[in-house]
Structure 1
Amino acid sequence: MMSKLSLHMFGACLATLSAASLFDQQINSKSSHFPRLSWKLLDTPSDSRFRGLAPVSDKVVWVSGTNGTVLRSEDGGGTWVSVGPVLSGEDANLEFRDIEAWSTAKAVILSIGEGADSRIYTTEDGGETWTLSFSNQEASAFYDCIAFESPERGMAMSDPVDEKIRLIETLDGGRTWDIVDSRGMPPALEGEFGFAASGTCIESVAGRWYIASGGVNPGRVFRSRNGYDWEVSNSSITGGEAGGVFSVQFRDKWHGIAVGGDFQEPTGAVNNAAWSQDGGKTWTKSTSFPGGYRSGSSWVPGLWDTALAVGPIGSDFTIDSGRTWRGFDNGTFDSVKCMAGPVCWASGENGRVAWLTLT
């Protein structure tokens, strides 16, 4: 079995084909409202892999990734400024897999890795200075992703410690962090863990919290009304040593999507997406699936049933809340986030950042 760190490093049935055909008809009938989608690639001064993505608006966006890299643009991706913390020695190789931002000034970044490589830094001056606000001291912890329900309250998720998923919490915007009491967390299954793939393995919407997991079959989705007392459900997404749920997103307290697959089989296009309409208590397999393993997803604000998913071999969208998916681009991305406008941003390997607008 591969280590956790290394894990991070077509045939379809007739029913699926029939569903895809029906979806084509639906898309065609809505063509006047849903234009052809295509990512517009932007030039960045980096070849880092950007799994961390935090757009603030259609103009302001932060990305973070390998080699301790953090970039920010304030003109819609026309120009970029390197604003990451000053690192030296082995720290220069830190991977900032997740980032949250609220303005051109304030951001929080999470680096992943075993032991003390899992860290959180904060800035309140646009990256001029960074403060190390959390450094993991538990040898068995491996932090994957971070989310905020408000500018003050956030949580970061680690793989299981003492057989339960570990959470830490901030109530002051990331300045300080405390371990969350694990008594309200269901036990993890043997081999279960999270994926630090797109910053969307933990999610907070409408005061509720969600966690995506893999390493077990099927992958699971944890849910909580307060971040302290948790329940868990099977996701219907096939899991395994390199598979499971990579991204969970809710548009409100009831309607959610989950995407994933097996990153070692990137073209696998079966049982890699599911949807929920009861707050994550139950999950139903999509009728037609994204065109391969997908690491990130995002609802599109203002387009109520619409969401996007991205992965290393392409992008897909749904206009029926995850029941059916349609591919629209074969470029490689790890993360996606849509903003009001609506405008969507995506990021990935070799310094790739892109955007698209929807009407």
Structure 2
Amino acid sequence: MGQLLSMSGVGVSLPGLHRPVDVLKDVTLDVDPGEIVGIAGESGSGKSMTGRALLGLLPDGARVRGSITFEGTDLASGSSKSFRKVRGRRIAMVFQDSTAALHPMLTVGAQLTEHMRRHLGLDRRQAAARAVELLEQVRIPDPARALRSYPHQFSGGMRQRIAIAIALAAEPALLIADEPTTALDVTVQAGILRLFDRLVREMDLSIMFITHDLGVLAALANRTYVFYAGRVMETGPTEELLLRARHPYTAALLSARPETADTGGEPVPLRPIPGQPATAASSPPGCPFHPRCGDRVGMCSRSTPPLVQVSTTRIGAREAAHAAACHVHAPAVPPPAVPVPVTVPAHGEEAR
């Protein structure tokens, strides 16, 4: 089975006041059919820009370098027409703010059937029937009535489910979920995550899940890419990466997560990452994380470390590499592969 998506050496430059600003730098990642891939990192790390680059939704004047191959077609070397062929049809996106993503003056039915009529050639009656099926699929109560309703008549969790149904309307192969659970409470968030897991299993769908929460990816993603200042700092099977982080930035993100002690439930003091997050525009020379890193050495400020493979783990039928871009913790010569058991989370019906 071949890769669904492959990005190789992708860079994105935006117009700046004095010179172009590189907001993505040498990004290489891939997504297999039926796989959930996570992208994590702080705000400004390039997560959302990666998703927008796949859809051609970049600001005027943006320049894309490298290769973006989707279903055998190189999107980066094509024209805007190449993106229009796949945008909404083969690649769809669910945005973080469902309130902003849904038009307040149009009914749910109007917004849901538009994609099907345009991309699938369905007539009004066929599109309406398909819309009811999609709302049932994402667990919207009384879908026929929901089609006649407006977005403000639903809760935040229900609006996000409607946004997911709209993204699925044209039967895409890849769904980009850009922090779709950030504004939701934990109970609704858990239901949305179980919904994504079920959709992958039932619809032959792949998902690129963008988030700042590594805990979410632990329950959902097969593999994870950790971004910082527009670069991939570490990547690997999610369980392997979270249990054996090889980049200080990944380890710092894990240490900064709120937690409680094992006994008594007493809160454990947060361990914030010192300093300010670097952006692509303010990235220092060498490793972009070195000003905030307690493990830095002299060469960290002089030389940008390459992404080096440190181990290999089998996930299903594929070999998944664990790699890190660190002068200190990623050796120049990869060690022998060490098998790591992969735990598959139990599946359940999502909460409403």
What is the TM-score of this pair, normalised by structure 2? Answer: 0.30
- Give the structure with the higher percent helix: 2
Q: Greater RCO between the two (CA within 8 Å, min separation 6)?
A: 2
Select the structure that is richer in strand.
1
Rg comparison, structure with higher value: 2
